[in-house]
């Protein structure tokens, strides 16, 4: 069988097409261009998309089309001399690629016997699990692990040919039965053992509970007797208290009568008293007048102080030299002081003219020195100029002195004015303040006198008083009498109230007879012991009820013994079955070991041939364990080396050799299932890559091989080789 053409809307592939040839197809594409997606697409086209997987790594989520369209695919293939077309469509979002069809190519005729569930097994001859562990070599998935389907396939090849038996499944079933009977602390046997231990514990508990029940019943009876004795003493104390209540009532009745008599006597002695609101008002008025007296005294003191200040400021004003002048007169005196104008210096033009005149006279005198008249004229001119200058400067100096004297006199008068005017104003302000303080004192004095007169008039009906002091004493005396009378009346009311209250709580039937004897315990001891004894009784009763319930919950002792015997018999049976299953598992394991010993050498020999071919003869033996653990033996060394000790490249080559060997042994020859490799040779060096490609090229004569790679080494080596198709995506 070989795949001819595929069309995919799957993951990043959007209506992508891939045409293939029989033989070895080397498909190159860089990373993240869809190689692994094509591999998964091929597997899902044959075996369908698993909808039971969950999470982001499930194929239905991981390979949902990026564009959001429905997932679909088509595959054209040739097998058994016929051309088939496989399609998978998505009709429901919950079942991607759930609609399957297999028809003869270029027709609508369905191929009989092929469904979406069995297409892979019919066309490839193996189940999905076997295909994934043999011919489907995904990226970074060269290793082979155990699987029940692969075991059945291998067992069928080397035994009877039936594929309905698997050692791991049979062993797992036996192990489940074994675990069902005993697995660590779980299983039927431990459960029975726990049940038996529980029954034994229940019997011991039942015996202990019955002993506690008897002891608790005894304590309950003792508490009941103690409670009855305490209740009897309580009744005796109640009779004594009733007699005491009658006695208290008689005493309260007598006290009420005495309090009323005292109140009436005090009322007669007190005579006429003002009512409480009037007395309170007079007390307030007296207190206010007392406070006002202090205010009047303060006003009088303030008036005296203001008058003294007025006299002092007036004397200071009168003693000033400017008194009694006012501000306007002083300003007129300042304005009357005239300041003479100071003449300016000799004008410049006059000085210049005199100088020129003197110069001309001197020049003429020099030129005409023989003329005495010119010389005399020149000398006279100079003397005249000098005299004029002296007279002018003397006048100017005298004027300046006069102005300075006037300015000094004016400044002195200004200073005296600045001193005098504040003294004059202060005297006026002090006189005003003294008049105002005296007026306030007079008003307060009159108001207090009027108020005192009113208070004395209000007190006149009750007491004879003459001034504020005697009024205060009289008011205090009235308040004491009023308070004493009020207290006596209140005491009478309280005594009457207590008498009435005691009357309401008197026991019926008159004064009871006293008990024959006083109780042994005091009233307080009885009251304290009663709650504790009642609590003990209740606790004992509750404990007895609890023990009774626990005894009933444990059941009948004979029934517990019978159930324990039945479980002991069942335990013996399960232990016998456990031993038998253990023997069966040992026998099955021995049989599987024999089967592995028959299969492993054949698989190891075939894997060794391939591994030796790939490695250029460096390794000539491959060893496989029961769980497909691998080891290789070099040609020049008899020491086997575990795959964990090999380099990454050598380990991948060994895994690939085992995979190819498994394909030779488990894949049906007549089906020729295609071999799919996804970057499986990426860790090979050039020599071993060439050797592996040579082997794959030979193998491609029997089956189609799809080698997806992200490197160009494969295409470069196979260029021009027969039966090798080089494809670039």
DSSP tag of 435: H
580, part of any domain: no
594 Cβ partners below 8 Å, 6+ apart? none
Q: What are phi and psi of 161, to 5 degrees?
A: 95, -5
Closest alpha carbon to 703 in 658, 669, 655: 669
Whether residue 162 lies inside any domain: the answer is no
Q: Which residues pair with 634 in a beta bridge?
A: 619
Residue 663 and residue 356: Cα distance in Å, rounded?
A: 148
If asked whether residues 325 and 449 sit together in one domain, one would say yes
The pLDDT of residue 656:
86
Q: Three-state SS string across 59-116, please?
A: HHHHCCCCCCCCCEEEEEEEECCEEEEEEEECCECCECCCEEEEEECCCCCECCCCCC
- Per-residue confidence (pLDDT) for residue 236, from 0 to 100: 77
Do residue 380 and residue 446 come from a single domain?
yes
Helix axes 557-614, 686-699, angle to 10 degrees: 100
- Which among 46, 43, 74 has a CA at the least distance from the CA of 59? 43
Identify the CA nearest to 19 among candidates 5, 2, 34.
5
Sheet containing strand 705-709, strands side by side: 136-137, 675-678, 705-709, 24-28, 724-728
Distance (Å, rounded) from C-alpha 717 to C-alpha 729?
18
Task: Tally the domains of the chain.
Answer: 3
Is 564 part of a structural domain of the chain?
no
Q: Are residues 475 and 446 in the same domain?
A: no
| Residues 297, 445 within the same domain | yes
DSSP strands (E only) in 258-353? none
Name the β-bridge partners of 86.
75, 102
Three-state DSSP state, 274:
coil
- Residue (of 157, 130, 134) closest to 656 by Cα position: 134
Tokens of 131: 């295909």
Q: Is 230 contained in some domain?
A: yes
Q: Which residue has the tokens 């690629």?
A: 97
In a 3-state reduction of DSSP, which class is residue 311? helix
pLDDT at 346: 58
Angstrom distance (rounded) from CA 141 to CA 714: 20
Residue 12's domain is classified under what CATH number?
Answer: 3.40.50.300
Contacts of 30 (CB under 8 A, 6+ apart): 710
Domain boundary among 528, 555, 582: 555
Residues 268 and 375 in one domain: no
**Residue 249 has what pLDDT?**
80
Q: Give the per-residue pLDDT at 526.
A: 82
- Enumerate residue ranges in the chain where pLDDT < 50: 146-165, 370
Residue the block writes with tokens 């009663």: 530
Tell me which DSSP letter residue 7 carries: E
Distance CA 649, CA 684 (A): 5
Distance of CA 294 to the CA centre of its chain: 69
Neighbours of 249 (CB within 10 A): 19
User: Is 143 a domain residue?
Assistant: no
319 and 404: one domain?
Answer: yes
Short-list 99, 96, 18, 15, CA closest to 59 = 96
- Are residue 206 and residue 225 in the same domain, yes or no? yes
pTM, two decimal places: 0.45
Q: Pseudo-torsion of CA 494, 496, 498, 504, nearest 10°? A: -150
Domain for residue 106, yes or no? yes
Choosing from 555, 572, 593, the residue where a domain stops is 555
CA of residue 208 relative to chain centroid, distance = 53
Q: Say yes or no: 519 and 457 in one domain.
A: no
3-class DSSP assignment, residue 662: helix
Answer yes or no: do 247 and 375 share one domain: no
Residue that is last in its domain, among 461, 483, 518 = 461
Whether residue 562 is contained in a domain is answered as: no
Both 252 and 269 in one domain: the answer is yes
502 in a structural domain: yes
405 in the same domain as 477: no
CA quadruple 236, 240, 241, 243: dihedral sign: positive
| Full domain range(s) for residue 456 | 292-461
pLDDT value at residue 142: 56
Looking at the structure, tell me whether residues 457 and 469 fall in a common domain.
no
């Amino acid at each position: 069988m070989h795949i001819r053409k595929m069309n995919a809307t799957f993951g990043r592939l959007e209506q992508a097409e891939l045409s293939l040839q029989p033989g070895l197809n080397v498909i190159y594409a860089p990373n993240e261009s869809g190689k692994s997606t094509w591999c998964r697409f091929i597997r899902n086209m044959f075996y369908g998309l698993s909808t039971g997987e969950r999470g982001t790594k499930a194929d239905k989520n991981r390979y949902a089309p990026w564009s959001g369209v429905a997932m679909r695919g088509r595959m054209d293939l040739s097998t058994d001399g016929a051309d088939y077309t496989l399609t998978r469509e998505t009709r429901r979002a919950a079942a991607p690629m759930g609609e399957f069809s297999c028809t003869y190519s270029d027709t609508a005729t369905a191929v009989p016997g092929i469904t979406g569930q069995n297409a892979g097994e019919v066309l490839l001859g193996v189940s999905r699990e076997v295909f994934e562990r043999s011919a489907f070599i995904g990226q970074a998935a060269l290793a082979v692990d155990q699987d029940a389907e692969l075991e059945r396939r291998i067992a069928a090849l080397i035994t009877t040919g039936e594929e309905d038996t698997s050692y791991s499944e049979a062993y797992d079933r036996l192990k489940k039965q074994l675990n069902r009977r005993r697995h660590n602390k779980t299983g039927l046997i431990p459960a029975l053992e726990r049940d038996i231990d529980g029954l034994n514990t229940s019997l011991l508990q039942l015996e202990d509970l019955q002993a506690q029940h008897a002891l608790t019943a005894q304590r309950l009876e003792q508490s009941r007797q103690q409670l009855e004795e305490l209740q009897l003493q309580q009744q005796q104390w109640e009779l004594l208290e009733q007699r005491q209540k009658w006695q208290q009532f008689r005493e309260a009745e007598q006290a009420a009568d005495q309090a009323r008599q005292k109140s009436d006597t005090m009322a007669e002695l007190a005579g006429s008293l003002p009512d409480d609101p009037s007395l309170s008002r007079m007390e307030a008025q007296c207190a206010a007048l007392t406070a006002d007296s202090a205010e009047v005294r303060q006003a009088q003191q303030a008036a005296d102080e203001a008058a003294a200040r007025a006299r002092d400021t007036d004397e200071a004003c009168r003693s000033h030299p400017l008194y009694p002048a006012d501000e306007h007169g002083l300003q007129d005196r300042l304005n009357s002081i005239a300041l003479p104008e100071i003449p300016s210096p000799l004008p410049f033009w006059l000085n210049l003219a005199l100088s020129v005149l003197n110069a001309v006279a001197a020049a003429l005198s020099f030129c005409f020195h023989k003329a005495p008249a010119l010389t005399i004229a020149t000398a006279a001119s100079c003397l005249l100029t000098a005299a004029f200058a002296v007279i002018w400067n003397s006048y100017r100096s005298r004027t300046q002195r006069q102005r300075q004297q006037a300015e000094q006199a004016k400044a002195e008068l200004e200073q005296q004015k600045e001193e005098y005017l504040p003294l004059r104003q202060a005297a006026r302000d002090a006189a005003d303040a003294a008049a105002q303080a005296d007026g306030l004192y007079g008003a307060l004095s009159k108001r207090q006198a009027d108020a005192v007169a009113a208070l004395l008039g209000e007190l006149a009906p009750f007491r004879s008083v003459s001034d504020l002091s005697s009024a205060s004493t009289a008011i205090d005396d009235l308040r004491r009498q009023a308070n004493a009378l009020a207290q006596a009346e209140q005491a009478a009311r309280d005594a009457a109230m207590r008498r009435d209250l005691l009357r309401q709580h008197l026991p019926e039937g008159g004064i009871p007879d006293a008990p024959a004897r006083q109780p042994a315990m005091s009233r307080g001891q009885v009251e304290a012991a009663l709650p504790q004894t009642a609590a003990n009784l209740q606790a004992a009763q509750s404990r007895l009820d609890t023990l009774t319930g626990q005894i009933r919950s444990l059941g009948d002792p004979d029934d517990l013994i019978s159930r324990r015997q039945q479980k002991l018999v069942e335990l013996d049976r399960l232990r016998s079955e456990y031993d038998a299953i253990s023997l069966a598992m040992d026998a099955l394991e021995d049989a599987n070991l024999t089967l592995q010993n028959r299969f492993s050498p054949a698989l190891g020999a075939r894997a060794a041939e391939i591994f030796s071919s790939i490695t250029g003869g460096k390794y000539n033996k491959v060893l496989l364990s029961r769980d497909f653990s691998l080891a290789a033996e070099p040609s020049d060394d008899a020491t086997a080396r575990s795959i964990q000790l090999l380099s990454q490249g050598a380990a991948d080559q060994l895994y690939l050799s085992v995979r190819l060997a498994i394909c030779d042994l488990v894949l049906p020859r007549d089906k020729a299932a295609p071999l799919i490799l996804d970057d499986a040779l990426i860790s090979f060096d050039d020599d071993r890559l060439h050797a592996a490609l040579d082997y794959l090229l030979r193998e491609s004569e029997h089956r189609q091989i799809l080698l997806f790679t992200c490197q160009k080494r494969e295409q470069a080596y196979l260029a021009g080789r027969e039966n090798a198709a080089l494809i670039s995506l």
